[in-house]
Amino acid sequence: MTHPDDPRPAGQDRVPLSQRARPALRAPYLEGLNPAQREAVETLEGPVLMLAGAGTGKTRALTARIAHLIATGTARPNEILAVTFTNKAAREMKERVAALLGQPLEGMPWLGTFHAICVKLLRRHAELVGLKSNFTILDTDDQIRLLKQLILAENIDEKRWPARVLAGLIDNWKNRAWGPEKVPAAEAAAFNHRGTELYAAYQQRLADLNAVDFGDLLLHMVHIFQTHDDVLAQYQRWFRYILVDEYQDTNVAQYLWLRLLAAGHRNICCVGDDDQSIYGWRGAEVGNILRFEKDFPGAKVIRLEQNYRSTPHILAAASAVIRGNEGRLGKELWTEIEEGEKVRLIGHWDGEEEARWIGDEIEAMQGGSRGLAPMSLDDIAILVRASHQMRAFEDRFLTIGLPYRVIGGPRFYERLEIRDAMAYFRLAVSPDDDLAFERIANTPRRGLGDKAMQTIARTARAHGVSLLEGARLAVETGAIKGKGGKSLDLLVRQIGRWHAQVRDEADTHVELAEMILDESGYTAMWQNDKSPEAPGRLENLKELVKALEEFENLQGFLEHVALIMDNESESDGEKVTIMTLHGAKGLEFPAVFLPGWEDGLFPSQRSMDESGLKGLEEERRLAYVGITRAELLCTISFAANRRVYGQWQSQLPSRFIDELPEEHVEVLTPPGLYGGGYGAAGAFGMGSQIEERASRADAYNSPGWRRMQA
């Protein structure tokens, strides 16, 4: 008996002869495809790597290939395994295939994300890994709660060895398809030499609970395929054609799963771009796409190189930068679009000036500037390397009333760590601020549970005083004792001292802000947090302190933030998009600003320190992704100086700037502003094409330049 989702009716292994012999019908889904796209669509047998550059219509080719498989009777919809990375991509793919075929698409149960497909498979074979078919899938919060229980049971200090860190470690191991028994000796020392032991205990606890986490979905299926040949053979027969989107983003577990399924018929088509592999930090292995031909001997590599998005200048700039990477599969993007604007390069005196200039430029673009038609704010994006860069732009845009949206995260002043820090500042200015006290009383943890907070609130109400005063009275009367009482007493005295310093103005408000964050233990809390988000939160705190420098005192700054956030309209009108380069992958905008191209910021010093040349090459791929988001106008900028910890530091322009092709770049910076090279070479007195171009540039009479000369 066949399974309900088995693509073949009982007793039938092939597509019916009548269907296979029918005359060829006109294929509207092939119309408008360029020769490379058409070849990718019609090459159905054997392994195919569709090497698709940015903006080359890979989604169209991929969906047309699925339509072609179905329309020609080569495969039924339920014989096709089509894998994406997001639910949105899966949904769009299904809609596009239906549109190409001119009819609703029914019966494609195997079109979806890796996780969605593996859930279906695992429910069928759960008993092979000691689970029941009705297993529960834990989310991240459940996973961390469970790991905390295990850590406490082993008498490990959770503050020193946080559960979140262990969760990240286990997730990384699962991405590499390592069960507890397969973690290599080189990794065994992780988490104070207890990582693999806790991993094994965690997996056992999951089994006891009849539960899995997201990493298990692939890990278990890889294990089942590797240890049960009959199960693997069954799915190799069922999935006669395999298609994979964004292959360059696959991790080891996903790669092994796909290779196992394709090992029989080898009818696998992988679509990707090694030049856009930017997720190494979360387990993606660019090597998977680079060794495709080795994994599948005789594979056909089809390069999609005709770009439908960007101007020749933008493509030339992106191509020149990415050529700096070694071991690429190689391709040359080209377009039939006419010349268009050159990539614009401008240096600024400092980061605030950069934000002001970009704000002025966007306002000018709304009305039509430099011979271009007026642009909608929805057509303009600012793509930053790190989220802390957003603060300067948000401040500027809020001040001048330029509507914007932040994609992929909250606005700067709405971020958790910023709201916490601001609550501390509010208490220093106004100790009676009960909302601020409630927010930070147990952040970082001071041993104050709900019961202690209720005691404070009850004491404050009984005496008609603020929560801070209620806390002082609760400690004095012994209503709150022990560790929590001592910590609370210290906090009360600290707030009193900070408030006195605000009034006395003994220290600058910037120094006081740093002192508050240090003495409260808030900075240390994030320094000790080993989660992937912690470094970014620390950068945001530094950016917050930096923002204080523009104000006379703490109170003035707090008023400024309150007013601009109150003025912010949540209308559905046009807005400039601000987002990270990572978040922008797959998107496109008529006009793109790429600020902060300075060595250490971009390429990221942390990435280079942690991963060396591999990290630098991923940063270069990120630069390529950023440039190729632009359709008509791409502006790259950098600052000569930035304030770091209250001190001015000279910034070295990004080494990627020297890799830009001089003939495709228009330098807007006034001559003689820096007296040296623009890129990394400039620091050593070495000339570069961009430097020579800058020396010949006409002064660009920007509002920022005029202010700088005033």
For the annotated catalytic residues, the residue numbers are 58-59, 245-246, 276, 629
Vertex 590, ends 587 and 596: CA angle to 5°? 75
**Amino acid identity, residue 247?**
Y
| 648 strand-pairing partners | 643
Please give the span between the terminal C-alpha atoms of the chain, in angstroms, as a whole number. 85
Give the Cα separation of 481 and 475 in Å (integer). 7
| 665 strand-pairing partners | 343
**Amino acid identity, residue 225?**
F
Of 139, 191, 183, nearest to 160 by C-alpha is 191
| Helical (H) or strand (E) element with 320 | helix 312-322
- Is the Cβ–Cβ distance between 518 and 494 less than 8 Å? no
Cis omega (within 30 of 0) for bond into 603: yes
Which residues have CB under 8 Å from 643's CB, separation 6+? 350, 351, 546, 549, 649
Give the Cα separation of 90 and 106 in Å (integer). 14
- Is the Cβ–Cβ distance between 124 and 108 less than 8 Å? no
Give the Cα separation of 382 and 58 in Å (integer). 25
Give the Cα separation of 73 and 14 in Å (integer). 10
- Is the Cβ–Cβ distance between 356 and 509 less than 8 Å? no
**Amino acid identity, residue 627?**
I
Q: What is the dihedral of CA 305, 307, 312, 315, to 10 degrees?
A: -70
Give the Cα separation of 710 and 107 in Å (integer). 69
Instruction: For CA atoms 256, 127, 214, 189, give the dihedral sign.
Output: negative
